[in-house]
Structure 1
């Protein structure tokens, strides 16, 4: 029985258990419901939990552990030359065996018998079923594939029996435990509390897992390349040098990438902050309710546009426009119609990224401004201040800590952008201050280094993890500082 069907069976058993629990609780209570500690719905929930939760945990553990045990058992029958080969070669061999095993389940009995007898073309028959092979199958692979399917079927059968038996056992145990003094409500709420804690821990555990995975691979990189050469290097050239060259590992200087990231992010913030902040002030203080109800959602639509679309917009429209307008300006000023703004440049990427960030600045700032109490506005207006003076002297100072925190969070969003930079700023890693020339960012080089068939054994690939952990630390510091600003300087209103 497949996992999805087994989950459906558990759900059906749980629903039946819920109604049986309620019926038994009502039967024990009779006409005097106050004799029971908990309501019948809690007794039904109690039986549902015992019928589903232990079986569900067993299913999760079985699905996680069983494939490893099965594959380890099958691998013991491999020829000696395969067992002594490199791990990458063994993984490739086992990938072919998995494909053959999956194909055998799709073939008809006659075709499967043909393959087992060794009289058919394995690659042709499996390709006809949409199961391509990564390499040429060897004689021992058919036997291994058959053994893999056999052990997998046995594992699934045992899993089905064990899970359903445990579910039914939990059903009978919980029904027998129902009594007037059973604290069913307390136990059900304890399970719900544990579920809430587990759900809230997912984000924390995910963050820890991301950090651990990046640190593990980054440590391998720093064992090959000194940390000071990475963090303080000014040349990014990760290619292998020619034979006999002094530095055969290339150069992995972070400084050009970090400067490009900060430079493009700065240009983006220079575009996004004034437009976003002014639009937030207008929406919160000047716009009529009808206009606000229409304009605010329309402005926030920008946040839902995929970044690759912004990249196309920058590459096809904004970049050529800036290039052509610079040629016209140069021609009017000097008579030489040569452009001084390249289509791919810091200005192009920063401008389009700033447009993308406008809804973030506007929405966050608008929420912060509208959170300022109405009494402050009315008090300022009652003292004779104009609306603009109230905004400048009262509302913005009161909302400033929250606005600063929102801007810092928006900056961390700009630092992590990739697609706009790839299409609008290029991939040139260099140190320069001219915003009309191309530069690149850390995220772009992470994509470049992980593109291709390289294994995670060379510094050219492992450097992506060092760049990733650096970018993670940078955005984390921005977010922590934003939270610090908000908590330290926020105004408390009654």
Structure 2
């Protein structure tokens, strides 16, 4: 009897691939194109006068909310499916009826919006049924094809490995395309912002004073200064403590102490940043006020409120300790034992070995850990919102309240300004600036890592 070309398991996986790949491709294509077709069909039910009075996006969002509210009412038994399809605004207060089941609508439901929502529900229901039938049909066809071509001459292993390779390529492409999409969205909106606001005033302006009524001063310098100031204080707290903790855990601690101390230290990484922000606002800030504030222990009035650069920086540094310690610990443990043995064999003490052999060998990874912590500090929002205050100012005093780029991105996108106004679009310019700064840090880190890696390889 002639042997099979591939192991039996590959033939089974070929059938699985024949089912899943076409079905998933159909499902993905359906999920991409169905909303486009659905919106075009539903938007045709909306008059030009309604669109002119608001905008198509806002009207469609109302239609979707009403449609989802009707679906929820049907699922909870508050109304029948026939009633949801035939309900009228002149006979029923739709907004109040949906409000009874917890669906909050911002305005009255017009007859036009209700008709569009009912059309949306009808098309969505039909589309769901067709999608289910289509996916099952394609899966069954794939199963039949996979079974029929299974024979001793079929190269199942080659087919399966090719499909797996394409899946890996697709996964990598998704990650890359997501990054490209994020960058492009920032670039387009940033370019639009600079069409409305001078770039020189943005990058070199020393005043941040947005005004939703117009006449804003949107200089980024105070925000960049506060961001870097708080990040430096955070690193000054996190790097020594985290690095010393990593050295102790990897080189001096007993296995029992390490098994207990390292998980306890890493618990800090799992605490939500909003909790750190509350800790800064309610504990660290008042504590600093008791020392540096008016009537404090030192009898000085350097601090006028609990919010300050030092408050946010110190708490952020505590948050970054596990990032530095955990990564540095793993990097130090990765240094070959032969390097330790060689140093000790030449007569060096344990501390000399750590200082002159282990740390230089682990330096590229440690620099990477520090830069990762720096990027994390630059992008932090909640701690600086609660701990640093909201004042955009240039000052060397770490006990004064300041604000950062990320905090202002949040505030500018949650205001009442039109999304096409400079006061809203400036958030994208701030985000792009932060992206470039972080990218620069990563490039510097990569250069340092490569330089020292060549030295200690």
When structure 1 is superposed on structure 2, of 218-227 and 55-64 the one drifting more is 55-64
Q: Aligned pair in 2 of structure 1 residues 397, 67: CA closer, same or farther (>3 Å)?
A: closer
Shift of 1:81: 1.8
2:440 paired residue number: 477
Q: SS in structure 2 opposite 1:350?
A: helix
Q: Counterparts of 1:313 and 1:100 in 2: how far apart (Å)? A: 41
1:239 is aligned to 2:205: no
Q: Counterparts of 1:394 and 1:302 in 2: how far apart (Å)? A: 30
When structure 1 is superposed on structure 2, of 102-111 and 420-429 the one drifting more is 102-111
Contact 1:401 1:485 in 2 (8 A): yes
Contact 2:89 2:109 in 1 (8 A): no
Aligned residue runs from structure 1 range 25-424, under 5 A: 32=1, 34-83=2-51, 85=52, 88-105=54-71, 106=74, 107-108=79-80, 111-112=83-84, 115-116=87-88, 118-240=90-212, 248-327=214-293, 336=299, 338=301, 340=303, 342-424=305-387
1:18 paired residue number: none
When structure 1 is superposed on structure 2, of 73-82 and 439-448 the one drifting more is 73-82
Q: Counterparts of 2:288 and 2:83 in 1: how far apart (Å)? A: 63
Q: Aligned pair in 2 of structure 1 residues 341, 379: CA closer, same or farther (>3 Å)?
A: farther
When structure 1 is superposed on structure 2, of 248-257 and 61-70 the one drifting more is 61-70
Q: Aligned pair in 2 of structure 1 residues 61, 455: CA closer, same or farther (>3 Å)?
A: farther
CA deviation vs aligned residue, 1:211-231 (integer Å, no higher than 9, x gap): 111111111111101111111
Shift of 1:328: 8.9
CA deviation vs aligned residue, 1:307-353 (integer Å, no higher than 9, x gap): 11111111111111111122599766xxx564547421111111111
Q: Aligned pair in 2 of structure 1 residues 431, 168: CA closer, same or farther (>3 Å)?
A: same
Q: Counterparts of 2:337 and 2:4 in 1: how far apart (Å)? A: 51
When structure 1 is superposed on structure 2, of 165-174 and 414-423 the one drifting more is 165-174
Q: Aligned pair in 2 of structure 1 residues 341, 272: CA closer, same or farther (>3 Å)?
A: farther
Q: Aligned pair in 2 of structure 1 residues 193, 326: CA closer, same or farther (>3 Å)?
A: same
Q: Counterparts of 1:66 and 1:130 in 2: how far apart (Å)? A: 28
Q: Aligned pair in 2 of structure 1 residues 217, 384: CA closer, same or farther (>3 Å)?
A: same
Contact 1:425 1:440 in 2 (8 A): yes
Q: Counterparts of 2:198 and 2:206 in 1: how far apart (Å)? A: 14
Q: Counterparts of 2:95 and 2:89 in 1: how far apart (Å)? A: 15
Q: SS in structure 2 opposite 1:38?
A: coil
When structure 1 is superposed on structure 2, of 345-354 and 322-331 the one drifting more is 322-331
The structure whose Rg is larger is 1
Q: SS in structure 2 opposite 1:179?
A: coil
Q: Which runs of 5+ in 2 are unaligned?
A: none
Q: Counterparts of 1:109 and 1:296 in 2: how far apart (Å)? A: 57
Shift of 1:89: 2.6
Q: Aligned pair in 2 of structure 1 residues 120, 198: CA closer, same or farther (>3 Å)?
A: same
Q: Aligned pair in 2 of structure 1 residues 145, 276: CA closer, same or farther (>3 Å)?
A: closer
Q: Which runs of 5+ in 1 are unaligned?
A: 1-31, 242-247
When structure 1 is superposed on structure 2, of 257-266 and 192-201 the one drifting more is 192-201
Contact 2:312 2:387 in 1 (8 A): yes
Q: Counterparts of 2:276 and 2:302 in 1: how far apart (Å)? A: 23
Q: Counterparts of 2:21 and 2:85 in 1: how far apart (Å)? A: 42
Contact 1:373 1:493 in 2 (8 A): no
Contact 2:291 2:297 in 1 (8 A): no
Contact 1:277 1:361 in 2 (8 A): yes
1:465 paired residue number: 428
Shift of 1:240: 4.3
Q: Counterparts of 2:31 and 2:418 in 1: how far apart (Å)? A: 28
For the aligned residues, what is the CA RMSD?
Answer: 2.4
Q: Counterparts of 2:162 and 2:233 in 1: how far apart (Å)? A: 52
1:6 paired residue number: none
Q: Counterparts of 1:190 and 1:269 in 2: how far apart (Å)? A: 47
1:448 paired residue number: 411
Shift of 1:155: 2.5
